[in-house]
Structure 1
Amino acid sequence: MTKDHLFEHIHALGDYSKPLSTLIKQLKYQQQLVAGELLASLLKTSLELRYTQEQLLQFDLLLAVPLHAKKLRQRGFNQAQIICDSLHQQLGIPMLTKQISRCKQTLPQEGLSIKRRELNLRAAFTYKETPTQTLTGKNIAIIDDVVTTGATVNSLCKLLKKRGVNSITVFCISRTPLSRNEVK
């Protein structure tokens, strides 16, 4: 992936290695939802070390990376949403929940090349306009569990930027070593 990311900043709790990778796998594949709450608490503490309370309140909305409806049915939950829900409760920042969805059933990103990841996620998300929610001028924090090349969040950023979002920051649990080089 090129370094032309549409988000301004990324904040990761740590690299994708133990113990974070173990907790993420427990959450995603073993349905240990308490692991998501623990990860969110650790992320919150990390955010509070990086940002002042006033800076955190500059974020208008939190947005969990959506899962496709089929994947959501299979897994039974969205791991990013669990982390987002907990951050919402702990930080008091509102969430954007129903307006953005994943409209394209994509292949799993794991194992795909950077170029294939970008193609896989092209036009993967959609926005449903509501009379009470406008994104124009908003500062949004996207919540995800793992960021590798940034292809998923960048695809989501394209949609948000088209809707007039002012700034986008990514809060994630971990980054893979590849993303350390790719996502600046």
Structure 2
Amino acid sequence: MLNSIYTQLKHKLLHLLEQFIPAQCLICQLASDNKLICKDCKSSLLQQRTCCQHCGLSLPVSQHFCGDCIQQQHYFTKLHALASYTTPYSSLIKELKYGKKLIIAEALGELLSLSILENLNAQQIKSIEYLIAVPLHHKKLRQRGFNQAALIAEAVAKQLSIPVLKDAIQRHKETLPQENLSINKRKKNLHGAFHIHDNVHLQNKHIAIIDDVVTTGATINSLCQSLLKAGVASITVFCISRTDTA
């Protein structure tokens, strides 16, 4: 009873605040009709990318596979990225991760969901049974206080009505920062980094992995290998940004 009254009062207060203090768009800072991102910014941000249709790498012209796909094996069926790692996405992701502006995860998740709906057909989306966020090592999670991929996954789950499989996978190996490592060193760095809990049954499941940024795909491929060993049937990857160079 008290919880119900509290909830009603909270909603009424928020409604009153919205009347006197209109919400601002996270991108242009203008009034956004109480949306996280205004209509104009949303339209400009949801642009079609010319990219590799398999790994999402930015290309001058879209094609089914790219040179990177030929040079290294990817263990996912398809990677779809909302955008390349350029402004404003690079700035938003940094504000989320290092500025701890968690509301940005909700906005990015909403944009990613809209992009998925525009680029995948209804059957492809319906076939996905679970979303899995790329996990952080417990030390990094404790240091940051949150997993940005998990926050984005929750937002996507709400928009697409696909459940998030939580605490199914542990990143039990503390890896080195990937930025300055070669592709081969990245693979070695991530070997055996992920562990799927024994009580999680993923046989013949169709999974979508959620991440904020994909660079070479080493982290994603390492996670995919663990999932495939657990019997997963297929893996799609959804991310906010894909870097322009692998």
- TM surpasses 0.5: yes
Larger Rg, first or second structure (1 or 2): 2
State the percentage of identical aligned residues.
Answer: 53
What residue in structure 1 maps to residue 176 of structure 2? 107
One-letter amino acid matched to 1:118: K
Q: CA deviation at 1:7?
A: 0.5
One-letter amino acid matched to 2:190: L
Out of 83, 88, 105, which is 1:19 matched to? 88
Q: CA deviation at 1:55?
A: 2.3
One-letter amino acid matched to 2:235: I
What residue in structure 1 maps to residue 207 of structure 2? 140
Greater RCO between the two (CA within 8 Å, min separation 6)?
1
Distance 1:158 1:53 in 2: 27
What residue in structure 2 maps to residue 166 of structure 1? 233
Distance 1:33 1:144 in 2: 15
Out of 82, 85, 92, which is 2:154 matched to? 85
Distance 2:133 2:192 in 1: 17
1:88-146: CA deviation from partner (whole Å, max 9, x where unpaired):
1111111111121100001111121111111110000001122xx42111110000000
Q: CA deviation at 1:159?
A: 0.4
What residue in structure 1 maps to residue 121 of structure 2? 52
One-letter amino acid matched to 1:86: A
What residue in structure 1 maps to residue 220 of structure 2? 153
Distance 1:53 1:39 in 2: 21
Out of 82, 104, 115, which is 1:35 matched to? 104
What residue in structure 2 maps to residue 9 of structure 1? 78
Task: Flag as ranges the 4+ runs of structure 1 deviating above 3 A.
Answer: none
Aligned 1:58-77 pairs, distance under 5 A: 58-77=127-146
Identify unmatched segments of 5+ residues in structure 1: 180-184
Q: CA deviation at 1:54?
A: 3.4
Out of 95, 120, 128, which is 2:197 matched to? 128
Distance 1:16 1:70 in 2: 26
What residue in structure 2 maps to residue 176 of structure 1? 243
One-letter amino acid matched to 2:244: P
| Local SS of the residue matching 1:30 | coil
What residue in structure 2 maps to residue 182 of structure 1? none
Identify unmatched segments of 5+ residues in structure 2: 1-67
Distance 2:228 2:121 in 1: 26
Distance 1:115 1:55 in 2: 32
Distance 1:113 1:55 in 2: 34
One-letter amino acid matched to 1:38: A
Superposition RMSD in Å: 1.1
Q: How many residues are matched?
A: 177
